[in-house]
Amino acid sequence: MKYFFLSDSWTTGRVWEFGGLWNESAWHRLPHLQQQSLCIQENGETLRLYQVEEAVLMVEVVPKAATHSMIGQVVLKRLLSAEQVIERLCQEETIFNALSHSTDGITPARLDNPAAEKSETSV
Protein backbone atom coordinates (compact mmCIF):
# COMPACT_ATOMS: atom_id res chain seq x y z
CA MET A 1 0.00 0.00 0.00
CA LYS A 2 0.95 3.65 -0.48
CA TYR A 3 -0.18 6.69 1.48
CA PHE A 4 -0.51 10.46 1.41
CA PHE A 5 -1.75 13.21 3.71
CA LEU A 6 -4.42 15.59 2.43
CA SER A 7 -5.95 18.72 3.95
CA ASP A 8 -9.66 18.69 4.82
CA SER A 9 -10.16 21.55 2.36
CA TRP A 10 -9.03 19.37 -0.58
CA THR A 11 -10.48 16.24 -2.19
CA THR A 12 -9.21 13.54 -4.53
CA GLY A 13 -9.80 13.52 -8.27
CA ARG A 14 -8.38 11.37 -11.06
CA VAL A 15 -6.01 8.48 -10.42
CA TRP A 16 -3.14 7.22 -12.60
CA GLU A 17 -1.58 3.78 -12.78
CA PHE A 18 1.37 2.45 -14.80
CA GLY A 19 -0.56 2.45 -18.11
CA GLY A 20 -1.93 5.97 -17.67
CA LEU A 21 -5.21 7.23 -16.29
CA TRP A 22 -6.99 4.55 -14.21
CA ASN A 23 -9.20 2.54 -16.55
CA GLU A 24 -12.21 1.11 -14.71
CA SER A 25 -13.10 -1.06 -17.70
CA ALA A 26 -9.67 -2.70 -17.81
CA TRP A 27 -9.41 -3.16 -14.03
CA HIS A 28 -13.13 -3.99 -13.63
CA ARG A 29 -13.20 -1.81 -10.52
CA LEU A 30 -12.37 1.57 -9.03
CA PRO A 31 -8.89 2.04 -7.54
CA HIS A 32 -8.52 1.37 -3.84
CA LEU A 33 -8.30 4.89 -2.39
CA GLN A 34 -9.50 5.10 1.19
CA GLN A 35 -9.48 7.90 3.74
CA GLN A 36 -8.16 6.66 7.08
CA SER A 37 -9.25 7.91 10.48
CA LEU A 38 -5.74 9.02 11.45
CA CYS A 39 -5.07 12.77 11.22
CA ILE A 40 -2.29 15.19 12.05
CA GLN A 41 -2.30 18.97 12.58
CA GLU A 42 0.06 21.11 10.54
CA ASN A 43 0.01 24.92 10.46
CA GLY A 44 -3.50 24.92 11.92
CA GLU A 45 -4.86 22.56 9.25
CA THR A 46 -6.09 19.01 9.67
CA LEU A 47 -4.29 16.59 7.36
CA ARG A 48 -5.97 13.22 6.92
CA LEU A 49 -4.12 10.06 6.00
CA TYR A 50 -5.24 8.33 2.78
CA GLN A 51 -4.34 4.82 1.65
CA VAL A 52 -4.03 3.78 -2.01
CA GLU A 53 -3.17 0.47 -3.59
CA GLU A 54 0.31 -0.28 -4.89
CA ALA A 55 -0.76 0.01 -8.57
CA VAL A 56 -1.54 3.73 -8.12
CA LEU A 57 1.26 6.01 -9.32
CA MET A 58 -0.34 9.46 -9.00
CA VAL A 59 -3.44 11.03 -7.49
CA GLU A 60 -4.97 14.34 -8.52
CA VAL A 61 -6.21 16.51 -5.65
CA VAL A 62 -8.38 19.59 -6.00
CA PRO A 63 -9.67 22.20 -3.56
CA LYS A 64 -13.23 21.55 -2.37
CA ALA A 65 -14.15 25.20 -2.92
CA ALA A 66 -12.51 27.29 -5.63
CA THR A 67 -12.52 30.32 -3.32
CA HIS A 68 -10.07 28.72 -0.85
CA SER A 69 -7.15 28.60 -3.22
CA MET A 70 -5.84 30.02 -6.46
CA ILE A 71 -4.52 26.53 -7.24
CA GLY A 72 -6.87 24.57 -9.49
CA GLN A 73 -5.36 21.12 -9.06
CA VAL A 74 -2.26 19.30 -7.86
CA VAL A 75 -1.03 15.86 -8.88
CA LEU A 76 0.63 13.90 -6.07
CA LYS A 77 3.51 11.96 -7.62
CA ARG A 78 5.47 11.05 -4.52
CA LEU A 79 3.24 8.76 -2.51
CA LEU A 80 4.53 7.56 0.86
CA SER A 81 5.39 4.05 1.95
CA ALA A 82 4.15 2.72 5.29
CA GLU A 83 7.64 3.26 6.72
CA GLN A 84 7.63 6.91 5.61
CA VAL A 85 4.21 7.47 7.19
CA ILE A 86 5.39 6.00 10.50
CA GLU A 87 8.50 8.18 10.33
CA ARG A 88 6.33 11.27 9.74
CA LEU A 89 3.95 10.37 12.56
CA CYS A 90 6.88 9.95 14.95
CA GLN A 91 7.93 13.54 14.17
CA GLU A 92 4.46 14.99 14.77
CA GLU A 93 3.37 16.64 17.98
CA THR A 94 -0.37 16.25 17.39
CA ILE A 95 -1.93 13.04 16.10
CA PHE A 96 -5.57 12.10 16.47
CA ASN A 97 -8.17 9.63 15.34
CA ALA A 98 -11.11 11.33 13.63
CA LEU A 99 -14.07 9.09 14.30
CA SER A 100 -16.09 10.80 11.57
CA HIS A 101 -15.31 12.60 8.32
CA SER A 102 -15.59 15.91 10.16
CA THR A 103 -13.29 17.17 12.88
CA ASP A 104 -16.15 19.09 14.54
CA GLY A 105 -16.05 18.38 18.24
CA ILE A 106 -12.79 16.44 18.08
CA THR A 107 -9.95 17.77 20.15
CA PRO A 108 -6.53 16.61 18.97
CA ALA A 109 -4.58 14.63 21.55
CA ARG A 110 -1.15 16.03 22.25
CA LEU A 111 1.52 13.37 22.47
CA ASP A 112 3.27 15.20 25.28
CA ASN A 113 0.04 15.25 27.34
CA PRO A 114 -0.12 12.16 29.61
CA ALA A 115 -3.82 12.85 30.23
CA ALA A 116 -4.64 12.41 26.52
CA GLU A 117 -6.72 9.38 25.71
CA LYS A 118 -4.59 6.51 24.45
CA SER A 119 -7.13 5.58 21.77
CA GLU A 120 -6.59 8.95 20.09
CA THR A 121 -2.80 8.72 19.96
CA SER A 122 -2.25 5.03 19.28
CA VAL A 123 -1.08 4.21 15.79
What pLDDT, on the 0 to 100 scale, is given for residue 42? Answer: 87
Mean pLDDT by 10 residues, the chain (123 residues): 94 94 94 94 91 96 72 85 93 78 38 36 36
Q: What is the pLDDT of residue 68?
A: 52
Encoded amino acid at 97, one letter: N
pLDDT for 66 equals 61
Degrees, nearest 5: CA angle 56-91-103: 70
The amino acid at residue 38 is L
pLDDT of residue 71: 65
Phi, psi of 61 (to 5 degrees): -125, 145
What pLDDT, on a 0 to 100 scale, did the predictor assign at position 78?
A: 92
Q: What Rg do the C-alpha atoms of the chain give, in angstroms?
A: 16
